[in-house]
Amino acid sequence: MSDEKNNLLEVNNLKTSFHTSDGIVRSVRGITFHVEREESLGIVGESGCGKSVTMLSIMRLLEDNAQLEADSILFDGEDLAKKTKKEMRPIQGNRIGMIFQDPMTSLNPLFTIGEQIKNPLKRHQNLSGKEAQKKAIQMLELVGIPDPAKRMRQYPHELSGGMRQRVMIAIAMCCEPELLIADEPTTALDVTIQAQILDLMKDLKKKYHSSIILITHDLGVIAGVCSRIVVMYGGLIMEEGTTEEIFYQTAHPYTAGLLASIPKDTKEKLVPITGTPPDLLNPPKGCPFAARCKYAMKLCKEVQPEFTQLSTQHRAACWLLHPAVKQKLGEVKIR
Amino acid sequence: MIEKPNPLLQVEDLRMHFKLKGGLFSKAKFLKAVDGVSFSIQKGETMGLVGESGCGKTTVGRTILKLYHPTSGKVIYDGNDITEYSDKEMFPYRKKMQMIFQDPYTSLDPRMTVGSIIELPLKVHNLYQGKDRQDRVRELIQMVGLKPDHINRYPHEFSGGQRQRIGIARALAIEPEFIVCDEPISALDVSIQAQVINILEELQEKFHFSYLFISHDLSMVKHISNKVGVMYLGHLIEYASVEEMYQNMQHPYTKSLMSAVPIADPKKAAANQRVILQGDVPSPIHPPSGCPFRTRCPHAKKICEDQVPQLKKLNDDHMVACHLLS
């Protein structure tokens, strides 16, 4: 484990469920992870694996039908899980910034770009109108928007997708947050624009000494940006480790499956993961991946595997790694 | 050879300009979605068409299927010029040319069962009668990896990947020769994408389909295609066999597009020399004069402003449209 003092965020046993007309959907089912200061952590997983819900839980932006349980969500020593909505205000958008997936819907169409950037500056930094105006123009310039003074007066629909995402980044970074949460920030963008946005995020992270949590389903994006990765599936963490460990010493069959699904440089046939992710209305009793796993044993379907620590940073939740199973089956090669 | 004789499909200088509403006194404007695209596809071959959103790749696919009437140019299918065919004359060709759509959530009728969705093309073309038809539907469902008892279910009961399989089964029902796959995997999760790609490949091996594979996922295009065309602002700017394209790309736009693709390998990603483009794609309503790419091209010269570069042969497997290369 890493030095605890150096952790900006520590999430301990977070569980989030939603009460719906169909029953209780257990989106996040007890996850523990941390974010160090000035690091970029990547969270990968398929749609519905709980990665976005995790972030909304940390930000306390869940809807009314959601229920959040956690031993603690420590942000710089303060427990966010115990805060009221009002107490969260000075943190949301100020000390933790957030970028959402869809720049088309996350900006308010009724307000100009300028008003939307000035809003957090006035609220959190107590800047006067003039100061906020100046800072907002600076921010737009910083995120690479040409002619920022003119853009300040424009509405979101007048900008392209890439430009809107830059504005979102300007809003998220204007209060110089310690933590930036980016939820699929480039999924809706073209590859050339994606490259621009990712570079911009890296530059701003360096400039403001922020930490980043990058949520994505794209292993390519993560490989280029993050130093550490958390792999989620069915509301649980499957594997966690440094980027090198996840890519080159893959320990969990799900991570291996994800890596095998993406085309390599050769014409080799892709190896898909058969089946579909579990329904979190009735989450499986054992390992959530058991139903799709090539190596699943009887045990996997019955009991949720515990984490096996593989190095100081690397751990995976899979029965194949358990010492007792290893003794019986020997080393199972998953790649 | 990239252009062989007797192709299954040949597209010649295809143009598709959409008329935009002009004011009462102002001149009507045109959106030049496709502006002079030529290529050909052989039987059993897959042509990948890549480019950023708004470059016209979907319009090319739809125009080939005559879902739009092209402004000019020719679409020649199996030796017959189908460009000016009426709906009635097109009918027999509808049986040969099919399409798989991008969004599996909107391309299936929510009020029809899976069985009737797949059966519809058989009904329209009056193929297989009575019990045979039901057997055929069952066969198709199994072919794409679904279960026969899914027949009476409705689309909302399926996940995205399963719905995409239903779309594939529908396209296959009447045994087409040529299928336009318009971003068939972009709405799917990574683990499901590989499943769908494998189905498309297996079916191609079995039935020798030709695919026009439209996608912005360059690594998947590399995987599935025999040849690749790169589009920018309605123009085909580079066109080559897949090996040539990925090893010996020439156009500055292709280079920056390829270098922007994230690599799922941290060591290679760190070594990747990226050419990051500045700015956004210009509007196709007011495209730049001369070369469409010149406003973002790091090497643009005076000639690029004055003349539209033509697609020229670099070698047998490779064509490129750039003034600086000729």
Chain B touched by A159 (CB under 8 Å): no
DSSP 3-state of B200: helix
The chain-wide mean pLDDT, for chain A, equals: 91
Q: Verify whether the Cβ–Cβ distance B262 to A261 is below 8 Å.
A: no
Across A58-72, average pLDDT: 93
Closest to A255 measured CA to CA, from B193, B190, B262, B199: B190
Give the three-state DSSP class for B256: helix
Task: Give residue limits of the domains in chain B.
Answer: 9-21+29-96+176-325, 105-175
Does residue A1 surpass a pLDDT of 50?
Answer: no
Place of tokens 């819907």: A105
Report the gap between the CA of A189 and the closest CA in chain B (Å). 9
Among A251, A249, A275, residue whose Cα is nearest residue A261: A275
**For residue A255, what pLDDT is reported?**
95
B residues 53-82 closer than 8 Å to A (CB): 53
Query: What integer pLDDT is reported at residue A196 of this predicted model?
Result: 87
Of B162, B220, B266, the CB nearest to A263: B220
Rounded to an integer, the average pLDDT of A82-91 is: 92
CB contact under 8 A, A276 and B161: yes
Q: What is the pLDDT of residue B192?
A: 82
A221/B262 CB distance under 8 A: yes
Residue entry with tokens 């209060």: A175
Nearest to A261 among B190, B256, B266 (CB): B190
pLDDT of residue A4: 63
pLDDT digits 0-9 by tens, B144-199? 888 888 899 999 988 888 898 899 999 989 989 999 999 888 878 888 888 889 98
> What pLDDT, on a 0 to 100 scale, did the predictor assign at position B294?
92
Q: Residue type at B300?
A: A
Cβ neighbors of A41 (< 8 A, separation 6 or more) are: A33, A35, A211, A212, A213, A214, A226, A227, A228, A229, A230
Local confidence band at A309 (pLDDT 50, 70, 90 cut-offs): very high
Interval A167-224: pLDDT, tens:
999 999 999 999 999 998 888 788 888 888 899 999 999 999 999 999 998 899 999 8
Q: Does B219 contact chain A (CB < 8 Å)? A: yes
Tell me, what's the pLDDT at B47? 96
* Residues whose CB is less than 8 angstroms from the CB of residue B176 and which lie 6 or more positions away in sequence, other chains included: B95, B96, B97, B98, B209
ipTM over 0.85: no
φ, ψ (nearest 5 deg) of residue A42: -105, 140
Beta strand extents in chain A (DSSP E only): 7-20, 23-36, 40-44, 66-69, 72-75, 78-79, 96-99, 179-183, 211-216, 228-233, 236-242, 307-309, 315-317
| DSSP letters spanning A254-265 | HHHHHHHHS--S
* b/e burial code for range A114-132 (CB count within 10 A of at least 16 → b): bbbbbbbbbebeebeeeeb
Contact of B262 with chain A, judged by CB distance below 8 Å, is answered with: yes
Cβ atoms B190, A273 nearer than 8 A: no
Q: Quick check: B198 and B164 in contact, CB under 8 A?
A: no
Angle at A87 between CA A82 and CA A93, to 5 degrees: 110
pLDDT at A55: 93
Distances (CA, A) of B246 to A261, A330, B104, B271: 20, 42, 30, 17
**Residue A3 confidence class, pLDDT cut points 50, 70, 90:** low
The CATH code that applies to domain B9-21+29-96+176-325 is: 3.40.50.300
Find the residue in A nearest to B52 (Cα): A190
Distance CA A297, CA A299 (A): 5
| Cβ neighbours for B27, distance < 8 A, ≥ 6 positions apart | none
| Residue that has been written with the tokens 């189908």 in this structure | B82
Q: What is the pLDDT along chain B (326 residues), one digit of tens a residue?
A: 677 888 999 999 999 999 887 777 777 788 999 999 999 999 999 999 999 888 999 999 999 999 999 999 999 999 999 999 999 999 999 999 999 988 888 899 999 999 999 999 999 999 999 899 999 999 999 888 888 888 999 999 888 888 988 999 999 899 899 999 998 888 788 888 888 899 899 989 999 999 999 998 888 999 999 999 999 999 999 999 999 999 999 999 999 999 888 888 888 888 888 887 877 788 888 889 999 999 999 898 999 999 999 999 999 999 999 999 87
Which residues of chain A make contact with B270, given a CB cutoff of 8 A?
224
Interchain contact B197–A (C-beta under 8 A): yes
Q: Which helix (H) or strand (E) holds B100?
A: strand B97-100
Distance from CA of A223 to the nearest CA of B (A): 5
* B30 phi and psi angles, rounded to 5 deg: -120, 140
User: Any chain B CB within 8 A of the CB of A193?
Assistant: yes
